[in-house]
Chain A
């Protein structure tokens, strides 16, 4: 993964973070809520190889850790997203690209978004944090998965264009 793509992807992640924190959080979603940020991050990871996915996951996690409303230790999301990035990239290789199997990729992005939240909660539990009642957590995780499935088809094509534009000539070959 080239340094220029790391910078451009980081820029896109920061924009997604700003949209999430200032706009998406203001919408009262009927079922739980939607994390636009995690959906974008998973979408970006889905176009990367293993090394790229790990780096993007770590950067995305660090930015999410910077969220002022978060009540978890700094670095917890970075840990989760790095791990998810690796697992995601490993499993994504068997799915193929977006144009050949779009539904499978969308399902994987939604699954990755839900799994990242579950991993986060598991680490929170290990660290002795209270994240709420079990039923509320289940609704939140499933709700986020549902909204990711709904919105991912709108987000992923844009991310695909962005990824293709950010490839260096060597990476294109």
Chain B
């Protein structure tokens, strides 16, 4: 009897393995059934992800909050006792404020580049079991998003649209190991290819063997044919190390992305590129420090009034000036 049970389970195993292999073969041969089923799943998942995103948006930083809990335990106790309800509201408003700041920055970037964009919230991420680095956003074909469009965030490039449904889209992040983008070293014409590594660093392979790479140089997208999938001039990353080994034919460098892909909450999909190439105009520049000189008013003795023709406010003297930042 037990032997019969074993034989039956082995037969079942073989049948199901063959079925799986059959499905893999169908997929590799390009049968559209499989992609349709995944699109259908995405259409079903997007509203669920959106609802869950609304309820659980503070859950993203669950572990980092736990890590810092000990440091602020005493403060938290006081605050919770005083205004637990207010604290919850503050958390929610901070989350919204963070999203608004990201949205403002990304719209600012798009505005500088004269890019037409559609902005959306991140409602999901590729899970551990998929081995691909993706995010799901809550805008889709209904908002004008289509496959192979560039996606940007406040720092610069995020990735490219991989698939679209009517109300959501999956974006392949630039950190994905399969991600490749043509880039140019800012202020030079040296072109190269940037390769995703699965983490926050990237490899730059320069196409020109005689070109030079310097640490600190910023990379911008080279642009694709018809601006699909990449529009030109989008900031991508900054060179942090140059590989000086002579073993490779092309020069290589390690690059760090300008956008923190782990914390991205709002992104914009570029639906229409600018008529003119923005070239290097979108590269982030350090904000200038504003120095204001405040002049201390001179001590006026009661007897010495202003003489005719003399202003009551004397002109600032350099010695009395002090900079205020």
- In the complex, A64→B132 CA distance in Å? 13
| B285 within 8 Å of A (CB atoms) | no
A60 to B301, CA, bound (A): 90
Main secondary structure of the interface of B (DSSP, over half): helix
- In the complex, chain A residues whose CB is within 8 Å of the CB of B42: 68
A109 within 8 A of B: no
Provide the B123-139 mask, 1 if CB < 8 A to any CB of A, else 0: 11111111110101000
A30 on the interface (CB 8 Å rule)? Answer: yes
Measured between beta carbons, the chain B residues less than 8 angstroms from A76 are 20, 24
Provide the B5-20 mask, 1 if CB < 8 A to any CB of A, else 0. Answer: 1101100110011011
Q: What are 11 A-B interface contacts by the 8 Å CB criterion?
A: A26-B124, A28-B262, A32-B128, A49-B5, A50-B6, A69-B126, A74-B34, A82-B16, A83-B17, A131-B131, A133-B199
Q: Are A131 and B177 in contact (CB under 8 A)?
A: yes
In the complex, chain B residues whose CB is within 8 Å of the CB of A82: 13, 16-17, 20
Pair A69/B198 contact, Cβ less than 8 Å? no
> Which A residue sits closest to B63, measured CB to CB?
A30
- Given A27-B62, A68-B42, A133-B197, the answer on whether A22 and B129 have CB atoms closer than 8 Å is no
Query: Which A residues lie within 8 Å of B59 (CB)?
Result: 23, 26-27
Chain B residue nearest to A79 (CB atoms) is: B20
By the criterion CB–CB under 8 Å, are A26 and B53 in contact? yes
Complex formed: what's the CA distance from A54 to B11 in Å? 10
A140 within 8 A of B: yes
Given A18-B48, A69-B136, A130-B127 contact (CB < 8 Å): no
Is A70 engaged at the interface, CB distance under 8 Å to the other chain? yes
Report the bound CA distance from A140 to B177 in whole Å: 14
Shortest Cβ gap from A148 to chain B (Å): 10
A121 contacts across to B, CB distance below 8 A? 131
Tell me if A144 counts as interface (CB < 8 A to partner B): yes
Q: Is the CB of A127 within 8 A of B63?
A: no
CA distance A33 to B127 in the complex (A): 8
**Contact partner of A27 among B6, B63, B170, CB < 8 A?**
B63
